[in-house]
Amino acid sequence: MRMTHRLSCLTFALLGVAPLVAAQNSPIDYERARLERRLNATRAEGPIVIDGVLDEEAWKSAPIATNFIQSEPEEGAPAMFDTEVRVLYDENNLYFGVLAHDDDPDSLIIKDLTRDFATFAVDGFSVILDTFHDRRNSYIFSTNPMGAKSDAQSLSEGQEFNEDWNGVWHVAGQIEDRGWTAEFAIPFKTLKFKNVDSQNWGINFLRRNRRFNEESYWSPIPRIYDASRVSLAGTLEELRDLRPGTRFKLTPFATANVSESSDSDTDGSFEGGLDAKVSVSTGLTLDLTLNTDFSQAEADLQQVNLSRFSLFFPEKRDFFLENAGIFRFGPPEDPRFRRFRRQAGLSAGSGFPAGQTRGNDLLLFFSRRIGLSEGRPIPVQGGGRLTGRYGAYQIGLLSIQTGEEEGLSTGDNFSVVRVKRDILANSDIGVMFINRESMNSSHFNRSIGVDANFRVTRRKWTSTLIGPRRRRPVFLEMTGPGGSAGPTATEA
């Protein structure tokens, strides 16, 4: 058997830009502003009712975050309208009370109330939390004047941005004569953070005033960036005696059907399975699944495709969503692409031509290939997934076993190992190994790669070094005078 080994070319892609002239000309010293934006957390005395009305006595004693600064349209200028934000917390929740002044509340732009609404297209307010205070990763919780909800996870300051993540939290909004108000309650069980007696978190607030195309931040951000730029966030201080919740979520399911016709006996079937989510530590989450059922997953948006390329649709299945960005490899998402998508009014669930999923053309691992073949479902027998952060490491381990489906699959095992290490102030290096192997034949497909993202100096030079190696067998059916021979594997 002839063996052929091929090592792909080593590609060095410079994704950064030259030092930013706009930042040099800005009237704001962003680093100094970040250090000055500090807010003391206050324990709530008495219950907080999430109704959008800031009438609880505790809100009166809470410190106020105000004096927002424009990012757009006039970078560095004071916001057109005042915004006041108060912060409280108790044993179970972190609370935010927002008063967004507006001289014409009847002109507020509110387009929909659906979950994960298009935040960039309406009046709204966002809370950005860097719970490990690593100035890299964050949670983003957003609402509009009517209390709609949208949330996301950001890794490495938006290099990986997961808008399909859905946390458990509560919000309500009210429109009044002086503008609009909102109340947030974010359970600590929804967040990952350190288990220490006293801690500081990175924090920022974003307000959008859409009729003036204005975006303003409490801790100012240059217009070339977005809310995920937590290295410029302020600080929420003196959070005391917080204890991460021991999260254990068990979701069993059962389905049954019975069919009967006049010319046949009654036929029926029953299936059952379960999903489990366990917090292994303050930074790591274990997901387990048995006889998986994805019928509850959100449907994709309908798209009309007149091109010769297939459309890309993002992952919607809950099992794969938390910390999904850890499994992404290579060049980070291009912020210009995300900005373009938002300005075009496209949501994260929109279909894009393959190769335009994140503003680059490399997607080494795509979880939607698991349990699907040629657009048809394949049963998932079970598997596990460990994701999260351990110290300076981001860790992702996944193993899924699919079953047999006549004409589509003989049963495959999908395994992924992903490790990234934070280095320097805001850089990282990582390795990724992927294996897809048939359980009933000698087919396999394996890839390994090393990537690095460097941001050098305050100018944020960014480069990515990629060195993947791929081994894939090609199976040939050989025939001769005596009939057919078995398949022959050739490594490529």
Measured over all CA atoms, what is the biggest interatomic distance in the chain, rounded to whole angstroms?
92
pLDDT of residue 404: 81
Task: Give the residue carrying structure tokens 């929109």.
Answer: 350
Measured CA to CA, the distance from residue 287 to residue 103 in angstroms comes to 48
**Angular region, 340: left φ>0, alpha ψ -120 to 50, beta rest:** alpha
DSSP secondary-structure letter at 78? B
- Give the closest residue to 240 by CA, choosing from 203, 279, 284, 201: 201
Bond from prior residue into 73 cis (ω within 30 degrees of 0): yes
Q: Is the dihedral of CA 423, 427, 431, 432 positive or negative?
A: positive
* Site of tokens 């993947």: 468
Tokens of 113: 């109330």
On the 0-12 / 13-18 / 19+ scale of CB atoms within 10 A, 382 is middle
Q: Whole-angstrom Cα distance, residue 363 to residue 293?
A: 26
* pLDDT for res 245: 66
The Cα 378–Cα 402 span in angstroms is 7
What digits encode the pLDDT tens for the residues 297-332?
Answer: 666 677 777 888 777 777 778 788 888 888 888 766
What is the CATH architecture assignment of 24-240? Answer: Sandwich (2.60)
What φ, ψ does residue 31 adopt, rounded to 5°? -70, -40
Strand 234-240 and strand 38-40: the pairing is parallel
Nearest to 132 by CA among 57, 200, 84: 200
DSSP tag of 48: -
Determine contact, residues 70/223, Cβ cutoff 8 Å.
no
Residue-level pLDDT at 336: 55
Q: What is the pLDDT along the chain (492 residues), one digit of tens a residue?
A: 333 333 333 333 333 333 333 444 457 889 999 999 999 989 998 899 999 999 999 999 899 999 999 999 999 999 999 999 999 999 999 999 999 999 999 999 998 899 989 888 899 999 999 999 999 899 999 999 999 999 999 988 887 888 888 889 999 999 999 999 999 999 998 998 988 899 999 999 999 999 999 999 999 999 888 899 999 999 999 999 998 766 788 888 887 878 777 666 777 777 788 888 888 888 888 999 998 777 666 666 777 778 887 777 777 787 888 888 888 887 666 555 555 555 554 544 444 444 344 445 567 888 888 887 776 778 888 999 999 888 889 999 999 998 887 767 778 899 999 999 988 877 888 899 999 888 777 778 888 888 888 776 555 555 555 545 444 444 333 333 333 333 333 344
Q: Which amino acid is at 321?
A: L
- Gap between the Cα atoms of 126 and 109, Å rounded: 16
Predicted confidence at residue 330, as pLDDT, reads: 72
Residue among 82, 332, 411 nearest 216 (CA): 82
Side chain identity at residue 253, one-letter code = F
What SS3 state is found at 62? coil
How many CA atoms lie within 13 Å of 202's alpha carbon, on the beta-carbon side?
A: 22
The two structure tokens encoding residue 442? 């000698």
pLDDT tens profile 445-460: 888 888 888 776 555 5
The amino acid present at 331, given as its one-letter code, is: P
How confident is the model at residue 459, as a pLDDT? Answer: 55
pLDDT at residue 332 in the model? 65
Taking a C-beta distance cutoff of 8 angstroms, is the pair 231, 217 a contact? Answer: no
Structural domain boundaries in the chain: 24-240, 248-281+283-478
Residue 393 CA to residue 366 CA, distance in Å, equals 22
Residue-by-residue DSSP string for 270-316: EEEEEEEEEE-SSSEEEEEEES---TTSPPPPP----SSSPEE----
- Distant-in-sequence, close-in-space partners of 344: CB < 8 Å, separation ≥ 6: none
**How far, in Å, CA of 217 to CA of 66, rounded?**
9
The CB density around residue 62, as the number of other CB atoms within 10 Å, is 23
User: Pairing between strand 83-89 and 42-43?
Assistant: parallel
pLDDT score of 361: 58
